[in-house]
């Protein structure tokens, strides 16, 4: 019996090394209200892996159900029993905070395709942690810069009360030069915004900035459009991505939002990405899909240069960011977070489909303020 077990174990080890030399663990949200984001990241990521034609990469995908405890369990399982080399996939900052510090401390690489909490960009930065999307503050800083340049002087701001929500309002305030007519933290997952809209109406603001990702943004925009409050709205791309615009409908038309990516950024990588994503999945990609795609391509570019087992060489290869990004130019700052251009986009209707169009640059070659606190 013992012999048989050992033989099986030996076979299993043999099988893994023969077929998959690199094992990537993806923990992302594939069920529940936030599933659209995780599915886009996964589809973008797998599209790039598929296009690379490499069959020595194995991707293990698990659903965290948007729950920190489940994400932690999955990460433990991936590190200890699946023995993955690289982890990626987490969408939400509260889950990222629960998982990333522990997996990087165990010597694994983590590449974030979405969440970029400030705590991991400053003092909590780690040589094995790379963020391929943005530091959480970035798009909000861009929204603040845009609001200033659009001449708004008295803005009402709101976001959910969780790490990314706090980063959002901090980011907006950093770049916004006007006054605040009000500042409100809503509950995470809140679906009714009547109370907040009444406050906006009473505040005498000249514009509104909000960060409410996923279903929260749909609810807010529909209720806002119906309330008769007619102030201009500015926000980060998260409430205006391709997946949810169709559910918001006319209520979103004309809203200016900030993003590091859009489907009309003019470079060959992006054009090919948008086209192949549409062919493969039958829908337009969102910014989340572009982030998943870029994350996979970054890993692929580093694997060309070094083995994951040679951690120092692999880290250097990642840091070089020598890949064609859908965003055009892409490079990492000293804390392994992107330095990139962030655009202002406007929601338009193309035929029957609601989508975004770039109307200008909000911030050029923008890094983040936490980089100065990062010692590594």
Partner 1 sequence: MSTLLIIEQVLNGLQFGVMLFLMAAGLTLIFGVMGLINLAHGSLYMIGAFAAAAVAGATGSFVLALGAALAVAAIAGALIEMTVIRRLYGKAHLDQVLATFALILIFSEGTRWLFGSFPLFLDIPDYLSGPVTLPGAIQYPLYRLTLIAVGLLVGLGLWALIERTRIGIQIRAGENDREMIAALGVDIRLLYTLVFAIGAALAGLAGALVGAIQSVQVGMGEPVLILAFVVIVIGGIGSIKGAFIGALLVGLTDTLGGIFLPELFKLFMEPGAATQTGSALASMAIYILMSLVLIWRPTGLFGARA
| CB of 248 vs partner 1, minimal distance in Å | 8
- Stated as kind and residue range, the H or E segment containing 42 is helix 35-52
Q: Quick count: other Cβ atoms within 10 Å of Cβ 371?
A: 18
Beta strand pairing status for 256-259 and 338-350? Answer: antiparallel
Closer to partner 1 at the Cβ: 222 or 331? 222
| CB of 161 vs partner 1, minimal distance in Å | 5
Put the strands of the sheet holding 129-131 in their side by side order.
57-63, 22-28, 86-88, 109-112, 129-131
- Stated as kind and residue range, the H or E segment containing 227 is helix 215-227
Round to whole Å and give the CA distance between 157 and 304.
45
| CB of 162 vs partner 1, minimal distance in Å | 11
Closer to partner 1 at the Cβ: 195 or 376? 195
SS3 content of the chain, % helix, strand, coil (to 5): 45, 20, 30
| CB of 148 vs partner 1, minimal distance in Å | 20
Burial class (CB within 10 angstroms; exposed 0-12, middle 13-18, buried 19+) of 67 = middle
Q: How many residues does the chain have?
A: 376
**Which residues partner with 335 through β-bridges?**
none
| CB of 310 vs partner 1, minimal distance in Å | 38
| CB of 275 vs partner 1, minimal distance in Å | 21
Closer to partner 1 at the Cβ: 122 or 214? 214
| CB of 371 vs partner 1, minimal distance in Å | 24
Instruction: Say if residues 115 and 91 touch (Cβ distance below 8 Å).
Output: yes
| CB of 223 vs partner 1, minimal distance in Å | 5
Round to whole Å and give the CA distance between 336 and 321.
10
Give the end-to-end CA distance of the chain in Å, rounded to a whole number.
Answer: 50
Closer to partner 1 at the Cβ: 34 or 122? 34
Binding site for partner 1 (CB under 8 A): 30-33, 35-36, 39, 161, 166, 183-187, 189, 191-192, 194-195, 198-199, 201-202, 214-216, 218-219, 222-223, 226-228, 243-244, 246-249
Closer to partner 1 at the Cβ: 17 or 161? 161
Instruction: Say if residues 86 and 295 touch (Cβ distance below 8 Å).
Output: no
Round to whole Å and give the CA distance between 184 and 144.
16
Residue 74 phi, psi dihedral angles, 5° rounding = -65, -40
Closer to partner 1 at the Cβ: 249 or 334? 249
| CB of 200 vs partner 1, minimal distance in Å | 11
Contacts of 99 (CB under 8 A, 6+ apart): 27, 68, 71, 72, 75, 87, 90, 110
């Amino acid at each position: 019996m013992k012999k048989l077990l050992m033989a099986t174990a030996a076979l299993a080890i043999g099988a893994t090394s023969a077929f998959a030399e690199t094992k990537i663990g993806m923990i992302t949200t594939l069920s529940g209200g936030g599933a659209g984001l995780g599915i886009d990241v996964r589809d973008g990521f797998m599209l790039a892996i598929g296009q690379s034609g490499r069959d020595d990469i194995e991707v293990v995908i698990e659903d965290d159900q948007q729950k920190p405890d489940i994400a932690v369990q999955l990460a433990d399982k991936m590190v200890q029993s699946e023995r993955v080399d690289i982890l990626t996939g987490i969408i939400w900052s509260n889950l990222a905070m629960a998982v990333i510090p522990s997996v990087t401390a165990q010597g694994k690489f983590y590449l974030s395709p979405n969440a970029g909490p400030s705590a991991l960009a400053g003092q909590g930065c780690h040589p094995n942690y790379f963020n391929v999307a943005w530091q959480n503050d970035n798009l909000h800083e861009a929204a603040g810069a845009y609001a200033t340049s659009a001449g708004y002087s008295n803005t009402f701001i709101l976001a959910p009360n969780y790490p990314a929500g706090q980063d959002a309002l901090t980011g907006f305030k950093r770049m916004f030069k006007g006054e605040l007519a009000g500042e409100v933290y809503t509950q995470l997952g809140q679906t009714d915004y009547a109370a907040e809209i009444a406050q906006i109406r009473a505040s005498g603001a000249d514009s509104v900035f909000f960060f409410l990702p996923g279903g929260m943004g749909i609810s807010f925009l529909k209720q806002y459009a119906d309330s008769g409050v007619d102030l201009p709205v500015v926000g980060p791309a998260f409430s205006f991505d391709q997946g949810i615009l169709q559910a918001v409908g006319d209520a979103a038309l004309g809203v200016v939002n900030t993003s590091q990516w859009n489907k009309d950024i003019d470079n060959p990588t992006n054009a090919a990405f948008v086209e192949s994503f549409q062919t493969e999945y039958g829908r337009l990609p969102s910014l989340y899909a572009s982030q998943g795609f870029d994350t996979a391509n970054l890993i692929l570019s580093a694997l060309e240069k070094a083995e994951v087992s040679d951690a120092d060489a692999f880290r250097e290869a990642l840091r070089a960011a020598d890949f064609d990004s859908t965003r055009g130019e892409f490079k990492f700052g000293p804390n392994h977070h992107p330095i990139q251009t962030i655009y202002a986009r406007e929601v338009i209707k193309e035929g029957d489909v609601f989508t975004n169009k770039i109307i200008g640059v909000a911030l050029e070659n923008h890094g983040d303020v936490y980089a100065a606190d990062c010692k590594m």
